[in-house]
Amino acid sequence: MKIASLSVVTACFCAVSSAVAQQPGGLVPVQPRPAATSPPNAQASGVRPPQTPVLRRRHPAAAAPFRLSAAEQAEVDRVLEAWEQQSARFRKFECDFTRFEYDEVFGQRNVPRFVDLGHIKYAAPDKGVFRVTHTVKEGRVVPIEPKRAEHWICDGKAIYGYDFVQKQLVEHQLPPELQGKSISNGPLPFLFGVEADQLKRRYWIRIVTPPQTQGEIWLEAFPRFQADAANFQRAEMILKTTGMQPYALQLHLPGGQQRTVYQFTNVRINARDPTDLLDLFPDNDFRPKLPAGWQKIVQQPETPEQASRSSRPRR
């Protein structure tokens, strides 16, 4: 069964799903790839939830794929610190998204193979919901077919994935030491609980905002470590300068022929639930419900010894 991301960002629960890579001695650096010569068009690009990584031994970091001047690095630091300050006030975050998936093997480079619609919900520090419910076919929005439907929930202790084909609710338990940890510890720390130092530790980051663009900041990030590189080769995040709110996220997937874009709309920050104005049931959306006739499967977390045997440094 596919393990999804957040991405956005790609979604929240997916970020927690690979927090195991953050355990002591956890990340393997990757060899640098050539940097992009120009920033991508966010409306013609793409993000798919990443696979769950395993624990890996730490190695010295590889060389950066680009060089920044002292002034350029200072500007990156300023943006990341401002982003962290704004993100710290997000007790609750909710938005809709449109996901564009591009595949050069099965389609044209700049024509999406799939256009899907979904919803993200987050509650600090460790709860999230990610759903893909509809798709666009022949210009019409229709319910997505079961084999492509996605619904994931993270409650801080486990990640629950709905398999609509097999009619199974799969619980992926988190190790005790990771339960209750921030979602920002996962493979897509671009949406929630942003920490500037952590972003700089895990990624080479630069600003790639097109010269004529107003009201936006474009950031490009390359993974430093294997656990992140298993999910994407390169990521671009577009932030609105007002409030540093996420506007779009693009991931170039491993292999270089697939990319996914999430465009975020109807963003709501710290908003009250109109059906629960007294906030008496704040966690209802983060409690997985087993549909009638479905089977529940519980998967135990992989031990560090198992992960160490199965992992190898990236060559």
Q: What is the DSSP string of 133-151?
A: EEEEETTEEEEPPTTT-EE
Under a CB-based contact definition with an 8 Å cutoff, are residues 7 and 18 in contact? no
What's 179's DSSP letter?
T
Write a three-state SS string for 12-54.
Answer: HHHHHHCHHHHCCCCCCECCCCCCCCCCCCHHHCECCCCCCCC
Looking at residue 236, its pLDDT comes to 96
The H or E element containing residue 74 is: helix 70-87
All structural domains of the chain with their residue ranges? 12-309
Q: Convert the pLDDT of each residue in 200-244 to its tens digit.
A: 999 999 999 999 999 999 999 999 998 888 889 999 999 999 989
Percent of the chain with pLDDT strictly greater than 70: 69
CA dist., res. 20 & res. 159, Å (int): 13
Q: Convert the pLDDT of each residue in 199-209 to its tens digit.
A: 999 999 999 99
CA distance from start to end of the chain: 27
Q: Which architecture characterizes domain 12-309 according to CATH? A: Clam (2.50)
In terms of phi and psi (left: phi > 0; alpha: psi -120 to 50; beta: otherwise), the region of 163 is beta
Query: What is the Cα Rg of the chain in Å?
Result: 19
240: exposed, middle or buried (Cβ count in 10 Å: 0-12, 13-18, 19+):
middle
Question: β-pairing, 216-223 with 92-103?
Answer: unpaired
Q: At 272, is the pLDDT very low, low, confident or very high (cuts 50, 70, 90)?
A: confident
Query: Of 122, 126, 124, 146, which Cα lies nearest the Cα of 134?
Result: 146
Looking at residue 282, its pLDDT comes to 57
- Residue 84 token pair: 């962290």
Looking at residue 131, its pLDDT comes to 95
- The arithmetic mean of pLDDT across residues 246-271, rounded, is 93
Q: At 304, is the pLDDT very low, low, confident or very high (cuts 50, 70, 90)?
A: low
CA dist., res. 234 & res. 36, Å (int): 9
CA dist., res. 163 & res. 167, Å (int): 5
Q: Convert the pLDDT of each residue in 17-44 to its tens digit.
A: 333 333 333 455 555 444 444 444 544 4
The most confident of 149-158, 169-178, 275-284, 298-307, by mean pLDDT: 149-158
Under a CB-based contact definition with an 8 Å cutoff, are residues 156 and 149 in contact? no
| Better pLDDT: 271 or 37 | 271
Average pLDDT, the chain: 78
Question: Which of helix, strand or coil describes residue 197?
Answer: helix
- The arithmetic mean of pLDDT across residues 141-160, rounded, is 94
CA dist., res. 313 & res. 315, Å (int): 6
Query: Of 188, 197, 206, which Cα lies nearest the Cα of 246?
Result: 188
